[in-house]
């Protein structure tokens, strides 16, 4: 019986030791600094399609998020900033069957990366015939 009591006390002491030694608030995620190379974490397709007059939405996750600036370009012209692109391609922008280039540029204080995708233009959305009375 005494042996059993000693074993229980030993187990209790060990459990308490592990409980207090395993929690350290200093441990955790590593600090992200300007020395970290920027990354786009989600998959970016190599091909997209756009239609004049229609909305194009896209979101990217980047790291280090607190230091990254994101710029979106279509055929070399800036069309957005930040993680989310919400863009309506103007009607008449490009002829049906032509292609362009979508760029996502992520910049940190020390580094810059660019991801490029081909955009196929599908012409324009047809005009609505609302209100012509017939």
pLDDT of residue 134: 46
Domain count, the chain: 1
Report yes or no on 34 lying in a domain.
no
Average pLDDT of span 57-78 = 95
Report yes or no on 109 lying in a domain.
yes
**What is the span of the domain harbouring residue 55?**
39-124
Residue 29: C-alpha distances to residues 25, 26, 32, 56 (Å)? 10, 9, 9, 35
Q: Which residue has the higher pLDDT, 27 or 3?
A: 3
pLDDT of residue 36: 87
Beta bridge partners of 59: 84
Q: What is the CATH number of the domain that holds 83?
A: 2.60.40.10
Report yes or no on 56 lying in a domain.
yes
| Percent over 70 (pLDDT), the chain | 81
Report yes or no on 7 lying in a domain.
no
């Amino acid at each position: 019986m005494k042996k059993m009591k000693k074993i229980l006390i030993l187990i209790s002491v060990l459990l308490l030791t592990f409980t207090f030694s395993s929690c350290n608030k200093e441990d955790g995620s590593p600090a992200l600094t300007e020395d970290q190379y920027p990354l786009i974490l989600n998959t970016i397709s190599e091909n997209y399609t756009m239609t004049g007059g229609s909305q194009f939405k896209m979101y990217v996750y980047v790291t280090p998020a607190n230091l990254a600036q994101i710029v979106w370009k279509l055929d070399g012209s800036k069309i957005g900033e930040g993680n989310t692109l919400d863009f309506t391609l103007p009607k008449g922008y490009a002829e049906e069957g032509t292609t362009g280039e979508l760029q996502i540029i992520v910049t940190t204080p020390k580094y810059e990366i660019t991801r490029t995708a081909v955009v196929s233009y599908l012409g324009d959305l047809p005009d609505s015939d609302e209100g012509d009375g017939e």
